[in-house]
Amino acid sequence: MRVLFTTQPGLGHFHPLVPIARALQGGGHQIAFATAASFAPTVRAAGFAHFPVGLDWGEDAIYETFPALRALPPSPWRASI
């Protein structure tokens, strides 16, 4: 079976999926991730195929990609970047 995971290009979104992907891969399934092009090195370093899709942004440039975030007040539910 071929399995395609989709995820935001952030470690907090990607890392929880890795154990599931590895278990499937260990069972002989083909695994790939669809996420931003700039996140490809992280996906490939974990041993998975990558397909570039969606808005290309990274956690290090989140305010440049989503400038409206600057206007949101800090809160315990939102990480400060």
pLDDT in tens, 14-39: 999 999 999 999 999 999 999 999 99
Q: What is the mean pLDDT of the chain?
A: 89
CB 21 within 8 A of CB 31: yes
User: How many Å apart are CA 17 and CA 21, to the nearest integer?
Assistant: 6
Confidence of residue 72 (pLDDT cuts 50, 70, 90): confident
Residue 41 CA to residue 69 CA, distance in Å, equals: 26
The yes-or-no verdict on residue 80 having pLDDT over 80 is no
Q: Confirm if 26 and 10 have CB atoms less than 8 A apart.
A: no
Can you give the pTM of this predicted structure? Answer: 0.76
50: three-class secondary structure by DSSP: strand
